[in-house]
Amino acid sequence: NAGVTQTPKFQVLKTGQSMTLQCAQDMNHEYMSWYRQDPGMGLRLIHYSVGAGITDQGEVPNGYNVSRSTTEDFPLRLLSAAPSQTSVYFCASRRGQGIAGNTIYFGEGSWLTVV
Protein backbone atom coordinates (compact mmCIF):
# COMPACT_ATOMS: atom_id res chain seq x y z
CA ASN A 1 0.00 0.00 0.00
CA ALA A 2 1.83 3.10 -1.26
CA GLY A 3 -0.27 5.69 0.60
CA VAL A 4 0.62 9.23 -0.53
CA THR A 5 3.42 9.50 -3.08
CA GLN A 6 5.15 12.78 -3.88
CA THR A 7 7.72 13.54 -6.54
CA PRO A 8 10.32 14.88 -6.84
CA LYS A 9 11.91 14.66 -3.40
CA PHE A 10 14.50 17.34 -4.14
CA GLN A 11 14.49 20.12 -6.73
CA VAL A 12 16.50 23.24 -7.39
CA LEU A 13 14.88 25.89 -9.55
CA LYS A 14 16.03 29.21 -10.91
CA THR A 15 13.93 32.29 -10.23
CA GLY A 16 11.19 32.57 -12.82
CA GLN A 17 11.11 28.91 -13.76
CA SER A 18 7.93 26.89 -13.45
CA MET A 19 7.51 23.35 -12.23
CA THR A 20 4.95 20.86 -11.01
CA LEU A 21 5.08 18.83 -7.82
CA GLN A 22 3.24 15.57 -8.28
CA CYS A 23 1.07 13.92 -5.65
CA ALA A 24 -0.86 10.69 -5.88
CA GLN A 25 -2.79 8.65 -3.32
CA ASP A 26 -4.16 5.13 -3.62
CA MET A 27 -6.58 5.18 -0.68
CA ASN A 28 -9.57 6.62 -2.57
CA HIS A 29 -9.56 9.66 -0.30
CA GLU A 30 -11.82 12.53 -1.24
CA TYR A 31 -9.82 15.22 0.50
CA MET A 32 -6.33 16.22 -0.64
CA SER A 33 -4.22 19.20 0.26
CA TRP A 34 -0.82 20.83 -0.14
CA TYR A 35 1.13 22.37 2.72
CA ARG A 36 4.40 24.17 2.94
CA GLN A 37 6.64 23.87 5.97
CA ASP A 38 8.97 26.66 6.99
CA PRO A 39 11.12 26.85 10.14
CA GLY A 40 9.16 27.97 13.18
CA MET A 41 5.90 28.27 11.25
CA GLY A 42 4.53 24.76 11.30
CA LEU A 43 2.57 23.67 8.23
CA ARG A 44 0.56 26.20 6.26
CA LEU A 45 -2.19 25.22 3.85
CA ILE A 46 -1.63 26.25 0.23
CA HIS A 47 -4.57 24.69 -1.64
CA TYR A 48 -6.98 21.88 -1.03
CA SER A 49 -9.56 19.77 -2.80
CA VAL A 50 -12.64 18.01 -1.45
CA GLY A 51 -13.08 15.89 -4.56
CA ALA A 52 -12.35 15.58 -8.25
CA GLY A 53 -13.03 18.82 -10.07
CA ILE A 54 -13.17 20.90 -6.88
CA THR A 55 -10.31 22.98 -5.52
CA ASP A 56 -10.04 25.91 -3.15
CA GLN A 57 -7.43 28.23 -1.70
CA GLY A 58 -5.83 27.79 1.66
CA GLU A 59 -3.86 30.18 3.80
CA VAL A 60 -0.96 30.90 1.39
CA PRO A 61 -2.15 30.29 -2.20
CA ASN A 62 -0.32 33.05 -4.06
CA GLY A 63 2.11 31.81 -6.69
CA TYR A 64 0.63 28.30 -6.82
CA ASN A 65 -2.00 26.56 -8.91
CA VAL A 66 -3.68 23.20 -8.47
CA SER A 67 -6.10 20.98 -10.34
CA ARG A 68 -7.91 17.77 -9.44
CA SER A 69 -8.94 15.89 -12.56
CA THR A 70 -8.99 12.50 -10.81
CA THR A 71 -9.52 11.32 -7.24
CA GLU A 72 -5.96 9.98 -7.12
CA ASP A 73 -3.88 12.93 -8.32
CA PHE A 74 -3.42 16.47 -7.03
CA PRO A 75 -0.47 18.27 -8.66
CA LEU A 76 0.85 21.59 -7.40
CA ARG A 77 2.20 24.03 -9.97
CA LEU A 78 4.61 26.84 -9.27
CA LEU A 79 3.95 29.37 -11.99
CA SER A 80 7.08 31.54 -11.73
CA ALA A 81 9.32 30.42 -8.91
CA ALA A 82 10.57 32.97 -6.39
CA PRO A 83 13.16 32.58 -3.61
CA SER A 84 10.31 33.00 -1.08
CA GLN A 85 8.96 29.67 -2.32
CA THR A 86 12.03 27.84 -1.04
CA SER A 87 10.42 25.43 1.38
CA VAL A 88 9.45 21.85 2.08
CA TYR A 89 6.15 20.87 0.51
CA PHE A 90 3.86 18.15 1.78
CA CYS A 91 0.90 16.59 0.09
CA ALA A 92 -1.75 15.09 2.35
CA SER A 93 -4.95 13.15 1.96
CA ARG A 94 -7.83 11.95 4.15
CA ARG A 95 -11.34 10.66 3.94
CA GLY A 96 -14.18 13.07 3.29
CA GLN A 97 -15.53 15.88 5.39
CA GLY A 98 -17.55 15.31 8.50
CA ILE A 99 -15.73 12.20 9.62
CA ALA A 100 -14.50 12.79 13.14
CA GLY A 101 -10.90 11.92 13.78
CA ASN A 102 -10.09 10.77 10.28
CA THR A 103 -6.35 10.45 10.01
CA ILE A 104 -4.40 12.74 7.69
CA TYR A 105 -1.85 10.85 5.64
CA PHE A 106 1.23 12.71 4.44
CA GLY A 107 3.68 12.20 1.64
CA GLU A 108 7.40 12.12 2.32
CA GLY A 109 7.89 15.74 1.32
CA SER A 110 9.50 17.67 -1.52
CA TRP A 111 12.47 19.90 -0.73
CA LEU A 112 12.43 22.85 -3.12
CA THR A 113 15.17 25.47 -3.40
CA VAL A 114 14.73 28.52 -5.60
CA VAL A 115 17.95 30.35 -6.43
Partner 1 sequence: AQSVTQLDSHVSVSEGTPVLLRCNYSSSYSPSLFWYVQHPNKGLQLLLKYTSAATLVKGINGFEAEFKKSETSFHLTKPSAHMSDAAEYFCVVKNRDDKIIFGKGTRLHILP
The binding site for partner 1 (CB under 8 A) comprises: 4, 35, 40-45, 90, 97-98, 100-101, 103-104, 106-109, 111
From CA 14, how far away is CA 114, in angstroms rounded?
Answer: 6
Closest CA to 8 of 19, 17, 16, 18: 19
Query: What's the min distance (Å) between Cβ of 39 and partner 1?
Result: 9
Query: What's the min distance (Å) between Cβ of 109 and partner 1?
Result: 5
The residue among 15 and 56 lying less far from partner 1, judged by its C-beta, is: 56
The rounded Cα 62 to chain-centroid distance in angstroms is 13
Q: Can you name the residues that pair with 48 across neighbouring β-strands?
A: 33, 56
From CA 57, how far away is CA 79, in angstroms rounded?
Answer: 15
The residue among 8 and 16 lying less far from partner 1, judged by its C-beta, is: 8
Query: What's the min distance (Å) between Cβ of 15 and partner 1?
Result: 25
The residue among 1 and 98 lying less far from partner 1, judged by its C-beta, is: 98
